[in-house]
Amino acid sequence: MSGVPELLVLRLLSGREMYGYEIVKAVRLVTGEAIGFGEGVIYPVLHGLEENGAVKAKRKSVNGRERVYYAVTAKGKRRLEHLSGEWQRVSTGVNSALGDLTKEPQNA
């Protein structure tokens, strides 16, 4: 499942800029809580994407709270397209394999 956290984060950030807590809540919402993870691990993912130039971070003071908002960059959009393509390819392959497995008992 390598690249899945990056894929989800980039997909969510392609809609609008968000801060970490918002991203975690959005991931839970869009995946129907199918993906479980400690929420604190979202930050290394975001920082890694920032270091690679896929997102940019901006500090904002909102209601006396210091928020770090993330927005996807042009490089991040290209990365999202690449990861989406990879995921579609893997997903199709796995679905195909699972389809073959379900047919197998009928052939035997």
- DSSP lists the bridge partners of residue 71 as 56
What is d(CA 50, CA 95) in angstroms, rounded to the nearest whole number? 33
- Find the binder of another protein among 65, 102, 105, 106 (CB under 8 A): 65
Tokens of 61: 């003071």
- Find the binder of another protein among 4, 14, 16, 21 (CB under 8 A): 21
43 near another protein (CB under 8 A): yes
Q: Give the β-pairing of 55-62 and 18-19.
A: unpaired
Binding site for another protein (CB under 8 A): 19-21, 24, 37-41, 43-45, 47-48, 51-52, 57, 65-68
